[in-house]
Amino acid sequence: MNDALAIAQALIRCPSVTPVDAGALGVLEDLLKAHGFTTHRVTFSEAGTHDIDNLYARLGAAAPHITFAGHTDVVPPGDEAAWSHGAFSGEVKDGYLYGRGAVDMKGGIACSVAAVLQYLADNGGKPRADGKGSISFLITGDEEAASINGTVKLLKWVADRGETFDHCVLGEPSNQQVMGDCIKIGRRGSQSGTLIVDGLQGHVAYPQRASNPVPDIARLIVAISDEPLDHGSAQFQPSNLEFVSVDVGNSALNVIPGQARATFNIRYNDLHTQASLRELVETRLANACGNRIKARIVWEPSNSNVFLTKPGAFTDLAVSAIEDVTGRRPELSTTGGTSDARFIASYCPVIEFGLLGQTMHQIDERASVKDIETLTKVYRGILDRYFG
């Protein structure tokens, strides 16, 4: 069970479809406890949400402190009959490990655990010979869903204990085409909202007695989204605002609706804060409405803020380890969706480096056994450099 492939198989065989744990955290807790880690199972709850079990395990009590973060919850498998190998079988076929979570991200967790255990075995069971240094694991079961009772609360729980992190490696699938091509050092923020245009309901044969919000919302959608929000920054691609639905809630063919709604999402870079972004969109709306159109935006709460780990000694260390194992110098990227790194970044510098993301969330999600071996070696190289 010190082997990354065996650990990954054991995790995959736990059908931990969010928010169910199905024993996945127990697999990790038992393994880490057997190798000297102090472990804590911490459950968080909130009204209207599922109770979520989380795991924090630490070896050592001194700085420098590196933590490996991840999540054991997975998305549903979809049509299990469509899988060529069982969605929770952990089967290896033709050099690939199959199963939900093989890529996102039980495989990454398995590699980090295996690398740490191998490192400790070669170094007398301690992070450093002088007794300094700490290694920990932050593992949640609440990443693929609401992300309310997981990493964000576990980080606070650790901080309330007086513990601090110096650096973090998150094993989300970061590589695009081949192992070693990409490290995530930041992510754009995410903000959603609903544009609401009020009209006056009436009969389509008597439009003079009504006010149709449909043409108005069409004009406002263009006014809000047609002009770029920005042109990108030194580390980030341009922000983008995308309308994803338009609805008037009207099934009748002879009724002018009284209201129209359009939902949108913005992925924004470090040229904006959440407040300045909202102000920019609200200003565009006000200018487009003039004194005639009655419209407003209802903003969704968001904890997906933009973050960036600036290139420096820690990213250089990771690049060196990756280049040494793969022969490739990875791109420092900020593309992609959100991850739990957005929470971790408030506590310490964090990078994301994991397996290839090409099959995550798909039928027949799978990870190359060779890539699992490569990622384990990279993590081991990071540890050697970090404590060396």
What is the CB neighbour count within 10 angstroms for residue 89?
16
**172 catalytically annotated:** no
d(CA 112, CA 133): 17
The letter for the amino acid at 59 is L
| Secondary structure, 3-state, 312-335 | CHHHHHHHHHHHHHHCCCCEEECC
- Which residues have C-beta within 8 Å of that of residue 229, sequence separation ≥ 6? 238, 239, 240, 241, 266, 268, 272, 277, 280
Q: Which of 53, 73, 142, 172 is an active site residue? A: 73
Residues 6+ apart with CB under 8 A from 292: none
CA 85 to chain centre: 26
Q: What is the pLDDT of residue 336?
A: 84
How distant, in Å, are the alpha carbons of 26, 112, 176, 320, 372 from that of 170? 20, 9, 16, 17, 15
153, 346 in Cβ contact below 8 A?
A: no
Strand partners, 383: none
Helical segments of the chain, H only: 4-12, 24-33, 106-122, 151-160, 213-225, 274-289, 313-326, 341-344, 369-387
Computed over its alpha carbons, how large is the radius of gyration of the chain? Answer: 24
The one catalytic residue among 53, 142, 143, 216: 143
- pLDDT of the chain, 388 residues: tens digit per residue: 679 999 999 999 999 999 999 999 999 999 999 999 999 999 999 888 899 999 999 999 999 999 999 999 999 999 999 999 999 999 999 999 999 999 999 999 999 999 999 999 999 999 999 989 999 999 999 999 888 999 999 999 999 999 999 999 999 999 999 999 999 999 999 999 999 999 999 999 999 999 999 999 999 999 999 999 999 999 999 999 999 999 999 999 999 999 999 999 999 999 999 999 999 999 999 999 999 999 999 999 988 889 999 999 999 999 999 999 999 999 999 998 889 999 999 999 999 999 999 999 999 999 999 999 999 999 999 999 999 8
Interstrand relation of 96-98 and 202-203 (parallel, antiparallel or unpaired): unpaired
CA dist 246 → 197, 219, 283, 284, 332 (Å): 11, 13, 21, 19, 36
What domains appear along the chain, each with residue ranges and CATH number? Answer: 4-187+306-387 (3.40.630.10), 189-299 (3.30.70.360)
Query: What was the pLDDT predicted at 189?
Result: 94
Tokens encoding 345 = 């970044």
> What residue type is assigned to position 147 of the chain?
S
- Is 46 considered catalytic here? no
Q: What is the residue whose two structure tokens read 């729980």?
A: 157
φ/ψ of 245, rounded to 5, equals -160, 150
Confidence at residue 1, expressed as pLDDT on a 0 to 100 scale: 64
Neighbours of 195 (CB within 10 A): 21
pTM score: 0.89
Residue 253: how many other CB atoms lie within 10 Å = 6
User: 74: Cβ–Cβ under 8 A, 6 or more apart, which residues?
Assistant: 16, 17, 18, 100, 101, 104, 106, 144
